[in-house]
Amino acid sequence: MGGAVSAGEDNDELIDNLKEAQYIRTELVEQAFRAVDRGDYYLEEFKDNAYKDLAWKHGNIHLSAPCIYSEVMEALDLQPGLSFLNLGSGTGYLSSMVGLILGPFGVNHGVELHSDVTEYAKQKLDFFIKTSDSFDKFEFCEPSFVTGNCLEISPDCTQYDRVYCGAGVQKEHEDYMKNLLKVGGILVMPLEEKLTKITRTGPSAWETKKILAVSFAPLIQPNHADSGKSSLVHLPPVAVRSLQDLARIAIRGTIKKIIHQEAMSKNGNGLKNTPRFKRRRVRRRRMETIVFLDKEVFASRISNPSDDNNNSEDMEDETQEEEETKPSELKPDPPVNFLREKVLSLPLPDPLKYYLLYYREK
């Protein structure tokens, strides 16, 4: 499933394409997608396909197409502090993006059928926390993953504000999925070949909306042939954060406010710094040519000869100008992690500084 948008060269280009195609429509969802590099969730030998709008599967490891994940994120209507349950959590890619929106006081749980994929997701989560350039821009609700069949969740589990199922749900399991929701909650799942959004409006009242046609592998039915009894899945408890964690969240939040205030005072006039120079662009008008031949359609872009003649000198000037302005100042400086710099400059013991930085490598 996928292929709805053009392939990108990198994660940002993929997100640009998803926005242009209206699969990403809100700023919160865009920020989350840009912060988590899809390529990091691929095995190294398959990364060439990471920014195509296609699903990927290798063994038990599976990623849905980016256009599906973006529609899911938009439909979930995520907000800070909500609880989220991801059924078929896979690599943890979606759970990590959701965690950036839920913030430090949300709940982020995932259930995955295959133990090797659960381990893979934990490794990718650890890599994201330690190395992501964008991690410090957010306060993160870290996902917790458990292994088991999502159709065997313990009946005494808590209900959630948001639930997503990443496998095709048979009609007989629709009520089971609905009962995982709190009143006011939203469930998104593939139901009868349609990605479906269900909102629980009351104890026994629901609103259903079909989003788009999809094709998902069906949920795996529990198999009790070996033991003769079910293996209930116990989700992580919803625990109150420790005082130590709360202190870290508060300190990081205060430092971010200070950094923002310093930036505002430095640019108090509200004007952005002007670039050192502007590259002169020469626009060349072009003519679209479409040829119909035996039911085939060929499209080409042909330069206007008169424009080519008129602009040949300008193009030479532009080439010369670009060669003259190639020094290192043209290359953008690497992004500065102001939060990291500020924490490292504080008069604190090193272990406390590293704790505030989540022991990150960058």
Active site residues: 64
- Dihedral over Cα of 165, 171, 174, 176: its sign: negative
Burial of 237 per CB tally in 10 Å (0-12, 13-18, 19+): exposed
Q: To which H or E segment does residue 266 belong? A: helix 243-266
State the DSSP code for 157. Answer: P
- SS3 state at 9: coil
Edge-to-edge strand list for the sheet holding 194-202: 144-147, 107-112, 83-87, 160-165, 181-191, 194-202, 205-213
Mapped onto helix, strand or coil, the DSSP state of residue 261 is helix
Query: What single letter denotes the amino acid at residue 19?
Result: K
- Rounded CA-CA distance 85/144 in Å is 10
CB atoms closer than 10 angstroms to residue 273: 7
Residue 147: strand pairing partners:
112
Residue 59 contacts residue 11 (beta carbons within 8 Å): no
> Considering only CA atoms, which of 24, 158, 136, 46 is closest in space to residue 91?
46
Determine which helix (DSSP H) or strand (DSSP E) holds 306, and give its type and residue range: helix 305-324
Cβ proximity of 131 and 361 under 8 Å: yes
192 torsion bin: left (phi>0), alpha (psi -120 to 50), beta (else):
left
The torsion angles phi and psi of 344, rounded to 5 degrees, stand at: -65, -20
> How far is 312 from 246, CA to CA, in rounded Å?
64
